[in-house]
Amino acid sequence: MKSEQEKKGLTYFRNLSFQDQLNVVWQTGILLDTKRLPGFWLHLYAVNSFFVEMWVCQRRLDVTLVRGFSDTDELKPYTDRISLDSILD
């Protein structure tokens, strides 16, 4: 049986405070990929029925942005690095 949090999905996640979003990702997220951009580490997580990008500043080592999305088209920058079959099972 799914928890109340899992049932609420992306809309619920987006309405959480920044700290609560981080807590959800760290407690229930599955790390799918990490890549480096100038000045940032991007961590891609699967969380319940959606995905989350976490932007971590390389200099300060803190999270500066958490972006949740459910549209798999937004995974295109990652498709050469991850297998969607394992995510969608």
Indicate the pTM of the whole model. 0.81
DSSP result, 52-74? EEEEEETTT--EEEEEEE--GGG
**Tens digit of pLDDT per residue, the chain (89 long)?**
445 555 569 999 999 999 999 999 999 999 999 999 999 999 999 998 899 999 999 999 999 999 999 988 888 888 777 765 655 55
Give a yes or no: residue 34 inside a domain. Answer: yes
Q: Total domain count for the chain?
A: 1
Residue 15 backbone phi and psi in degrees, to 5: -85, -5
Q: Is residue 49 part of a domain?
A: yes
Q: Is residue 87 part of a domain?
A: no
The CATH number assigned to the domain holding 46 equals: 3.10.450
The DSSP code for 38 is: T
- Residue range of the domain that includes 43: 4-81
38, part of any domain:
yes
